[in-house]
Chains A and B, each alone.
Chain A
Amino acid sequence: MSGRLPRVSTVMTGIVLLCLYAPLAVVIVYSVDKEPALIHWTGFTTRWYHKAFGEATVREDLLNSLEVAAFSTAISLLLAVTAGLWARRASSRARRVLDALTYSRIVLPEVVFALGLFVLFHELHIGYGIGAIIIGHVVFNSAYATIIIQARLATLSETLEEAAADLGANRWRVFRRVTLPLLAPAMLVAAVLTISFSFDDVITSTFLGGTNAQTLPVLLLGMIRLHVTPEVNAIGVGLMLITLTSFALAGIVTVLRPTGAGSLLALGSRAAE
């Protein structure tokens, strides 16, 4: 009995993982397949990558995506840290309001927020484009970032900040030398998440991009409407690589600073320091 159960669960896990990752494998394989008809393997080539990323639209949309990810992440982190620090001082009632506002941005359908912003920007005569997309992404990204930052703040004793003040640091110096470094690992995790959410987003970007700005996922969606070409696969792999790179960078940073900063995964468990 005891020997069989793990085997069953191993097989099940294997099947689930296969189903989840097979599509990715297909995309990767087709992106380097010589045969453009996407039927069978005929040999390795990087031709589709050259072709895809050689196109001006693709390059431009990639830059748009990077820009949106960078700015929406930066703004989200700023909002999240501010909200988190405010919540620590606020009454429990005010904190509940903040929590409700935060979770609603995650729970409510993204399409509703996108539509709302679309209408709002129209009324206010704010043009659609990169700026509008960034604001749209901040709506959900800041919610995820706030949750992560607050989780970390909950484990940080205010005594550390009191100690810093006691040792002669004014409020800004306390934040700069104690609060911020201790929040850094959580901010890194939040950044990795928001970058990948931003890169991944189609709905908000479609609604708010207008006619003159488009992100890479939106372009991809447009391209497969016509038909799936090997270039589409190459772009897909490109998106994957960018997200993985941000994860890898975050991982490297945490590995290089093993003590104090805390590892990416152990973040939540580093209480009572």
Chain B
Amino acid sequence: MTLEQQTETSPTDRAEGARGGSRSSGEPALRLVGLRRQYGSLAAVDGVDLEIGAGEFFSLIGPSGCGKTTTLRMLAGLVEPTAGRIELYGREISGLRPHRRPINTVFQHYALFPHLTVFENVAFGLRERKIDRREMSERVSEMLELVGLTGRESAKPAQLSGGQQQRVALARSLVLRPEVLLLDEPLGALDLKLRKQLQLQLKRVQREVGITFVYVTHDQEEAFFMSDRVAIMHDGHVEQLGTPRQVYEHPRTDFVADFVGASNRLRGSIVATAPDGCYEAEIEGVGRVRAPGVEDLAPGTRVIAVVRPEAISLEPTADERAAVRAIVMDLAYLGDHVSCVLERADGPALTMSIGGSELASQGLEVGEPCEVSWPCSSMWLLAEG
């Protein structure tokens, strides 16, 4: 059942549905221009420019206090921007009150109405739109089916589990066929297993309805798993924008590298530029390497070399590989892989992530010395600071 098929009733409703995510003119769904929000002298959001494509699953991620939730609330109309514009398909919406925006929100703690049943919760917005009874109950039933809650129509929110409540909140917003759905840490209150399940379900629902999702989370892994693109926010501005892969493999700043979980960050300096976006660099405790990095690093620049834990292995040293000697300090079994902490005499400790079988074949023990290496091409250089 597609959204287009459901919209054969009232003319206003049809227009609403037609806009719902299925525009394909290449025009972005949302455009944020110089968006700012100040609280006293503190800028919670400090000049954010973003374009979010129609039908995209877009995430705003960052540590708490980075401005991601304030940005989301400005999109919803719950917080007024101090400066800047928000455009929805080219139409300025920053001045509109929340109930006039074709944008809906799934709140962090679901915000289900405790005095209403599941059905009434989902029908809440439809009733405001004066949708007739028969159509309302059809649309509510379809939505409850989509989120797997058929049969719970007359339950009160308090009788549902956290995961079920979350799905009611999702259905309550989606039933209105918004042009953009905002999700504010919707899985934050759930346990890990349920989170994983609901991540899959959210992704599936988003694909099925084709609505633009703007997702806010502090969980980098969750954002990477679900999103087409992510924006990493820091101190009120966007630090880096890109696909999860771009952001993870090619972080532009030390903050991003740290935030996306690149735990091995070695210091060094640029010696010379090399072809194909690579540099010759001198890395402390490792030596001379040729590795790729961010653009425009001049010789002499102090840099951070990011080495991903899964790039490090016990393979013997060879050309084009950087190697270090270290002592195994800790081995943590994490199911599908083992995380090893390696202490070095001449530099910060490294984290290595290797498969359990590799560990067994190499007979690695805590307290034993070892030699590890990684391909230089897997490193990533970025300016320090």
Contact = CB atoms under 8 A, between A and B. Distances in A.
Interface of A: 157, 159-160, 162-170, 173, 177-178, 181-182, 259-261, 273
Contacts of B108: 159
A250 to B, nearest CB: 17
B211 to A, nearest CB: 15
A167 B76 contact: no
Given A167-B176, A259-B156, A160 B111 contact: yes
A167 B103 CA distance: 9
A135 B282 CA distance: 86
A162 B98 contact: yes
Given A166-B105, A168-B129, A173-B128, 5 more contacts: A164-B124, A166-B78, A168-B125, A181-B115, A182-B115
A169 B104 CA distance: 12
Which 4 A-B pairs rank lowest in CB-CB distance, beginning with the nearest? A167-B125, A260-B115, A163-B111, A168-B128
Nearest to B156: A259
Mostly helix, strand, loop or mixed at chain B's interface? loop
A162 B77 CA distance: 10
Contacts of A170: 97, 99
Interface string B372-384: 0000000000000
Nearest to A168: B128
Contacts of B76: 166
B308 interface: no
B16 to A, nearest CB: 11
A171 to B, nearest CB: 9
A178 B99 CA distance: 14
B128 A260 contact: no
A166 B100 CA distance: 8
B107 interface: yes
A182 B111 CA distance: 13
Interface of B: 76-78, 97-99, 104-105, 107-109, 111-116, 124-125, 128-129, 156, 158-159, 172-173, 176
Nearest to B123: A167
A168 B113 contact: no
A178 B78 contact: no
A261 B115 contact: yes
Given A164-B113, A166-B78, A260-B114, A177 B124 contact: yes
B113 A178 contact: yes
A37 to B, nearest CB: 56
Which residue among A165, A169, A170 has the maximum number of chain B CB atoms within 10 Å of its CB? A165
Nearest to A270: B114
8 contacts: A164-B124, A166-B77, A167-B99, A181-B115, A259-B114, A260-B115, A260-B156, A261-B115
Contact of B78 (A162, A167, A259, A273): A162
Which residue among A159, A166, A182 has the maximum number of chain B CB atoms within 10 Å of its CB? A166
Contacts of B77: 165-166
Contacts of B97: 165, 170
Contact of B98 (A166, A173, A273): A166
B109 A159 contact: yes
A259 B125 CA distance: 22
A170 B101 CA distance: 12
Contacts of B107: 159, 162-163
Contacts of A166: 76-78, 98-99, 104-105, 173
A168 B115 contact: no
B131 to A, nearest CB: 11
B115 A162 contact: no
Nearest to A177: B124
A169 B114 contact: no
A162 B111 contact: yes
